[in-house]
Structure 1
Amino acid sequence: MMRSDSIRKALKFTNIVMILASIVPFIINTLYYNITLNQYEGIIENVYSANSLSSNLKNDIYTTMWNIVTGKTTFKDNTQYALIGRIRENLDELEKNANSEDNGYLVQVARNTLETMESYVNSIGDNIARERPVRENEELLGEIASVSDLLYDVIQKFVAAEMELAHIQNAKIRQSMDLMTLTQVLLFFAILMFLLRNYRQLNRRINEPIWRLKTMASRIAQGDLSIRVEKPEISELDELTDSLNTMAEKLIKLIDQNVQKQRNLQKAEMKALQAQIAPHFMYNTLGTILSLAEDGQTENVVTTTLALSSFFRLSLNKGRDWVTVAEEKAHVENYLAIQKMRYGAILEYDFDFSPEILKESMLKLLLQPLVENAIYHGIKKTRRRGHIAVKGTAEGDSMIFTVQDNGLGMTPEELEKLQANLLNYDVSSPGSGFGLYNVYKRIELYYETGDGLTVESEYDKGCTITLRLPIVRTQAAQPAPDQTQAAPTEGA
């Protein structure tokens, strides 16, 4: 199958085309519009300045010189030259901003006319200084009026020329606006056609492979893990296709693994049942009872028999998995009472449980395997007197149980190996450490936590096993109505 181009590249090309098609014409039109508008504003400014100059030109110059000739003001006040200076500055500004050569020529004519007017003003000044007859100054005043009219006419021609340019610029502005509008309309339709074309192409190139992937996902959800999808026509879906194919393969493996784990769990449950029944424990206990009977220790025979009966009653618990902490504590007390009969003075123990946790629920048979582990793997391997301390207390939303012994303990290497066995124990070939693994695994399954059991040990100093169990308030223990009282606790 021929592979098409990347969708990412197609979208990138589409975006670039749209951006360029939108921005470039807009920038060009905007620049042209701004340039034309600036020229138009310059023309309007020139017209305004020229009108302001011409409106005051005739009256101001003639009136100023008339007042000098008639003696109302003196020539030495220089008001006439100040006025001429302002007019010259205005002409300089108009010449600077002239928008055509013809307008610049008109400003130059106006400047020459102003110089002629200034020469007449100088003549009036000379006549006044030499005290010439007033008649001569009146004649000069008439010439100034004529020159003022000429200057006014020149300025008006400049205004007319600038107004013509303003009209032309205004037409250009309208044209630029019309062109911009037309360009935007054409661009809109061009982009619309381009997008519709790309949409049809992309839709065709994407929908088909996505539909195949969707079909695969639906069939996987229905349980058909044999389906596979070929590589699609677009590269962006390669990884998704590979992931779905890989997921289907891994699901098959995970299902197989889960089936195997279920089998292992069933084996573990069978092994746990065998450990709970503990035939060898019963055999040893009955042997102890027989020895006590032969020695005539009737009271101890009764006590041991009651403890054994209560031990198995609590072990079976009518098939229930949950008991109260008080029941679990009684179960361990019965077990230790029996062991006390066997080992005598070399075994001592004590209990320390907080009263507030005794009515809480917990998974059954969690503490007894730990105590059994402390006796057989700790205390029995030493020659000194053994001591086991079983404690239970509340800590926040959890219950903390510890089983501490002063037995042989473990080296760091042995402790590390034990911890590794807890995580990777082969229940199909159980050996040492099965009791701890059974507790660890049941906590993991029922409490859904992986850190419910921790082991601390130091060689020749003993071992401490800690259980951290969440308080399960929704799992009532439902204690049996005929609970047997536990054997008395014996301490050091």
Structure 2
Amino acid sequence: MKKQTTIKSLLQRISWLMLVLSIVPLIISVLIYTRYLFTYERSVGNISEANRIANDVEEKIIEEAWSLTYGQLTPEEFTKSNNVHRIKKEIRQIKKNTQSTQERATLNIVTRSLDNVNNYLEKIVANIEANEPFQENQELMVHVESATNLVHDILQDFVNVEIKLAANQSQQVRQSIIVLSVIEAFIIAAIIFFTRSTNTRLMKQIQQPMEEMIHMADALSDGKLNYRINTLPGNELQKLSNSMNEMADNLVVLLEENALKQYNLAQSEVRVLQAQITPHFIYNSLDAILVLEEMGESEKVKEMTYALSDFFRISLSQGQDWIPVEKEIKHIHDYLIILQIRYGDALTYSIEIEEKIKDYSILKMILQPLIENAVYHGTKLVRRTGKIIVQAFLGEQDELHFYIIDNGKGIPEQKLKEINQELADGLDTDFTEGYGLFNVNKRLLLYYGKEAKITITSIVDKGTTVHVTVPTMQKGATKHVQSFYR
């Protein structure tokens, strides 16, 4: 009996093949490019150091030698500040970073030349201590200058050697790229061939059975309880299809035996669910995406999907409480995009933000709940086109100001006084209404302290303005929860 091929084993074989076909050139590429990168960085470092040392040889050693000769430096001071010893130490350090014999040979010549320079300088010191004629030191300085010029020229030769080595390495990389390109071309051809050869098998063993089961699920959900799945290929889907057929058979039996009871129970459950379920942002957004897809609005589907993805990505922010102002604005922008696509012409918005505040840090998700309130308790309750305006700028005292303005229903004067009083009471209030507003106010007070505040102004049937003020924090800064109570 032929062993049945399971979906898991089939997908595993495909995965392993794809992995093998892709990982080999990847490993080779990483090794080649890593080696080239290290060699390049080493060459650049050596070139930079060699140029710097060459300048020191030309300037500092000559200047120091003439200062010694003319008596501006005493022999003791010169001995302490002798740059030749320092430069020799730096040459030895460069030598540790070399790999070729040509590099090391060039640096050995530099070291010997520096020894000659040092010998001349020691003779000058000895002449000064012995009060020898000034002319002898002048003659020695001619040798010093000649030797330092030689050191400078040899260091430039070393730089040229490093440049040639880097050029050779670059040529090797180009050749490696060509070889890898050919290998990858063969791999792509193999993948295309394998994909075409397995496509029919996958269609037969996975896609077609899945479509059949989806069709059965749709039929059962539509009340077509007599629908059954035909025999499927011998894998896990066959067991699943048999189970679905058995489930449908059992369902028919149960419905026939308990028709009235199940009907009444189903009706009761529907009423309970209808009473309990309230519209939720994510469900409505996903429903809107499905509707747009069915209408063929692919661009809007893409825009809304990206906005929803960014919205939740920023909401999570890898568990961070503090994000840049730019991300917080992007967060509400995504939220408003989703709402505008859902509500169409019934909602418009604008965001005005000063460029210079984008890099400040801010406590995340303090604006979105306020905008949600502005829409659901403001613009949504009026017949005119709703408009949300968001403004953000830096104040005179280096504080951040955020305004959320809507043209919605507004808040009655007495109710507005109560809300502002509860906002002013801060952590001491129970805040019986407006959970989103309370949550934002509480978080602001806990994280920023009394420097943060929310104030609201409103005119009935005209609209509401929510003003949030928080102190500035530099990008990347964090602040722990404030340990205080009013």
Rg larger in 1 or in 2?
A: 1
- The structure, 1 or 2, with the larger RCO (C-alpha pairs under 8 Å, 6+ apart) is 1
